[in-house]
Amino acid sequence: MLTILQLPVLNDNYIYLLHDTVSGDTAVVDPAVAQPVLDALAKNNWRLTAILNTHHHGDHVGGNLELKQLTGCTVIAALADQHRIPGIDRGVVDGEAITLGRHSARVISTPGHTSGHVVYHFADDNALFCGDTLFVMGCGRLFEGTAEQMWQSLQTLKTLPAATQIYCAHEYTQANGRFALTVEPGNLQLKQRMEVINQLRAKNLPTVPSTIEQELATNPFFREDGLELQETVQRVGKKPVEVFAAVRKLKDEF
């Protein structure tokens, strides 16, 4: 069993602790800050063995050095970002495998939000840790990449098994959903999902994880094929990447 613990930190970040019960190995994905991770490790009597970073932004690597210093864990991140990941020990590239006890993940390169962004797919555990590439009903802003790159990255994620759980790094769901409704007001599944999301958020509960299946049905950045979406952005019959770019631009201005 891979145990996954979700820690809400800062305004809207999620840190994930992954624990392999057999080996005792524990990894943390995108530790924005160290203390909540240290507290969770102590509470569960877990030993931190690795940090997995998706990209170099401060709200994803802020706890790296303190955690490394206190636990001696290995910092794993994109080789392309080795100059800007604090404490990096191992640089990984697209397609490479990493292991946590008996569990293994494939590194998938997903440029767009940043040029070096990577995600970690634990196929046997049906879990994807996708940082700021894919959000629930949204996707990351294009800070360093082009719309074409981000679209390609999302195309890769779209092909993962429908049941894959999406563990993204932010609780942006409610705002994303409000935008999604403006571009696909006729999407019934989206409307229904927003009711559930609003109820969860009213109780301050997480809306993450999601699944690839749910995203295919409700995430506008997965739905360039939809006629209603194409009509909203006045790109009927255009190339999917053009539809995507237009939706991304609208979201930036939303």
The edge-to-edge listing of strands for the beta sheet with 165-168 is 97-100, 103-109, 118-122, 127-131, 165-168, 210-211
Q: How far is the CB of 42 from Fe ion (least distance, A)?
A: 26
Alpha-carbon distance 58 to 64, whole Å? 10
Q: Quick check: 40 and 5 in contact, CB under 8 A?
A: yes
Q: Based on CB atoms, which residue is closest to Zn ion, 154 or 243? A: 154
Q: Quick check: 50 and 72 in contact, CB under 8 A?
A: no
Q: How far is the CB of 57 from Zn ion (least distance, A)?
A: 4
From the list Fe ion, Zn ion, none, pick the one residue 248 interacts with, judged by a Cβ distance below 5 to 8 Å according to partner type. Answer: none
Cβ burial of 250 (10 Å; 0-12, 13-18, 19+) is middle
Binding segment (CB under 5 A) for Fe ion, from list 116-124, 130-138, 228-236, 241-249: 130-138
Q: Based on CB atoms, which residue is closest to Zn ion, 131 or 220? A: 131
Question: Which residues 55-74 are close enough to bind Zn ion by CB under 5 A?
Answer: 57
Cβ burial of 27 (10 Å; 0-12, 13-18, 19+) is buried
- CA-to-CA dists, residue 218 to 136, 138, 225, 248, angstroms: 9, 9, 12, 15
Q: Which of 20, 132, 184, 224 binds Fe ion (CB under 5 A)?
A: 132
Q: How far is the CB of 214 from Zn ion (least distance, A)?
A: 22
Q: Based on CB atoms, which residue is closest to Fe ion, 61 or 88? A: 61
Q: Which of 119, 122, 118, 128 is nearest to 100 (CA)?
A: 122
Question: Which residues 124-163 are close enough to bind Zn ion by CB under 5 A?
Answer: 132
Q: What residues are annotated to the active site? A: 55, 57, 59-60, 113, 132, 170
Q: Is 30 in the site for Fe ion (CB under 5 A)?
A: no
Q: Which of 20, 59, 215, 224 binds Fe ion (CB under 5 A)?
A: 59
Q: How far is the CB of 140 from Fe ion (least distance, A)?
A: 8
- Where does this chain bind Fe ion (CB under 5 A)? 59, 132
